[in-house]
Amino acid sequence: MKPFTPCLWFDGQAEEAARFYTSLVPGSKVGTITYYGDAGPGPKGSVLTVSFTLNGQEFMALNGGPDFKFSEAVSFMIKCESQAEIDRYWTALSADKAAEQCGWLKDKYGLSWQIVPAKLDLWMADRTKFDRVMAAVLKMHKLDLATLERVAAG
């Protein structure tokens, strides 16, 4: 079976979003861009889809119109090795301060992201660390790696 390709629905910003995301994530690139033709439903010559890859994961951005919006029910997780990496993604992506909590943020297109330490999976899987780490995460907006390391260590 071939890998899954998430398709992200935009209202006219598909190419802009694809270029923005690929500029942030190393090893990323914009692929094929398709355009509406005579059959529509968008204006002829306007961008219909943009394929792009973020660090090996394929995506499709679709200019489908204003009918659908992103929700927090779906998010993309970026696992970071350092606080500098957490800070870089957080600064670049966060566009809605009210949506920031527990390492989650919402970007300028309304898409939700989780910017987390790569070690978080290990800490959360360890029952001796889970409660301490979860309690700390729940108090944070942007996650603080040093604090979480101290909490995980006990």
Segment 75-100, tens digit of pLDDT: 999 999 999 999 999 999 999 999 99
Q: What percent of the chain has pLDDT over 70?
A: 100
Q: Indicate if 79 and 26 belong to the same structural domain.
A: no
The residue segments making up the domain with residue 107 are 75-153
Q: Indicate if 80 and 105 belong to the same structural domain.
A: yes
Give kind and range of the element (H or E) at residue 123. Answer: helix 120-125
Q: Provide the 10 A C-beta neighbour count for residue 146.
A: 9
The verdict on residue 102 lying in a domain is yes
Q: List the CATH number of the domain containing 41.
A: 3.30.720.100
Question: 3-state class of 117 per DSSP?
Answer: strand
Give kind and range of the element (H or E) at residue 148. Answer: helix 145-153
CA dist list (Å): 94 to 5, 22, 90, 129, 152 = 24, 16, 6, 28, 26
The verdict on residue 83 lying in a domain is yes
The verdict on residue 23 lying in a domain is yes
The verdict on residue 36 lying in a domain is yes
Q: Let me know the angle formed at the C-alpha of 74 by 5 and 107, rounded to the nearest 5 degrees.
A: 95
Dist CA 143 CA 102 (whole Å): 7
Segment 23-51, tens digit of pLDDT: 999 999 999 999 999 998 889 999 999 99
Q: Indicate if 89 and 31 belong to the same structural domain.
A: no
The pLDDT value given to residue 1: 80
The verdict on residue 50 lying in a domain is yes
Q: List the CATH number of the domain containing 118.
A: 3.10.180.10
The verdict on residue 2 lying in a domain is no
Question: Whole-structure pTM over 0.95, yes or no?
Answer: no
